[in-house]
Structure 1
Amino acid sequence: MTILVVTGTGTEIGKTIVTAAVAAANAGRRVAVLKPAQTGLAPGEPGDAAEVARLAGDHVTAVELARFPEPLAPATAARRSGLPPVRPDDVADAARKLATEHDLVLVEGAGGLLVRFDDEGSTLADAARLLAAPVLVVVAAGLGTLNTAALTSEALRSRGLECRGVVVGSMPAEPDLAARCNLTDLPVVTGAPLLGAVPAGAGALEPAAFRARARGWLTAELGGDR
Structure 2
Amino acid sequence: MGKGIFIIGTDTDVGKTFVTAGIAYKLNESGYKVVPFKPIQSGGILDEHGTNLIAPDIRYIENICSIENKQTSQNHTMMNVYCLKEEVSPHLAANIENIKISKDKIISQYKKLINEYDYVVVEGAGGIVVPLVDNDYFVYDLIKDLDLDVLIVARAGVGTINHTVLTVEFLKSKNIKCKGIMINKYNGKFYEDDNMQTIENITGLSIVDVFSNIEKPTRDNIIKEYKDLSLERILNLFN
Instruction: Give the TM-score taking structure 1 as reference length.
Output: 0.88
Q: In 2, distance between residues paired with 1:184 and 1:160?
A: 24
Residue 222 (str. 1) matches residue 234 (str. 2): yes
Cα deviations across residues 163-202 of structure 1 (Å, max 9, x unaligned)?
0110012212xx3232121221222233321101112128
Name the structure 2 match of 1:138: 153
Describe the shift of the 1:203–1:11 C-alpha distance in structure 2 as closer, same or farther (beyond 3 A): farther
Q: In 2, distance between residues paired with 1:78 and 1:3?
A: 26
Cα deviations across residues 131-160 of structure 1 (Å, max 9, x unaligned)?
221100000111111111111111111111
Bigger radius of gyration among the two:
2
Q: CA RMSD in A?
A: 2.2
Identity %: 25
Name the structure 1 match of 2:198: 185
Name the structure 1 match of 2:16: 15
Residues 109-128 of structure 1: pairs in structure 2 closer than 5 A: 109-128=124-143
Name the structure 2 match of 1:47: 56
List runs of 5+ in structure 2 lacking aligned partners: 48-53
Describe the shift of the 1:118–1:127 C-alpha distance in structure 2 as closer, same or farther (beyond 3 A): same
**Contact 2:38 2:81 (C-alpha < 8 Å) held by counterparts:** yes
List runs of 5+ in structure 1 lacking aligned partners: none
**Contact 1:149 1:189 (C-alpha < 8 Å) held by counterparts:** no
Name the structure 2 match of 1:57: 66
AA at the equivalent of 2:15:
G
Cα deviations across residues 59-109 of structure 1 (Å, max 9, x unaligned)?
564511111111100001111111222x43333222121010000001101
Name the structure 2 match of 1:83: 99
Name the structure 1 match of 2:26: 25
**Contact 1:9 1:149 (C-alpha < 8 Å) held by counterparts:** yes
Aligned residues: 220
Instruction: Give the TM-score taking structure 2 as reference length.
Output: 0.84
Deviation, 1:10, is 0.5
AA at the equivalent of 2:114:
A
Residue 70 (str. 1) matches residue 83 (str. 2): no
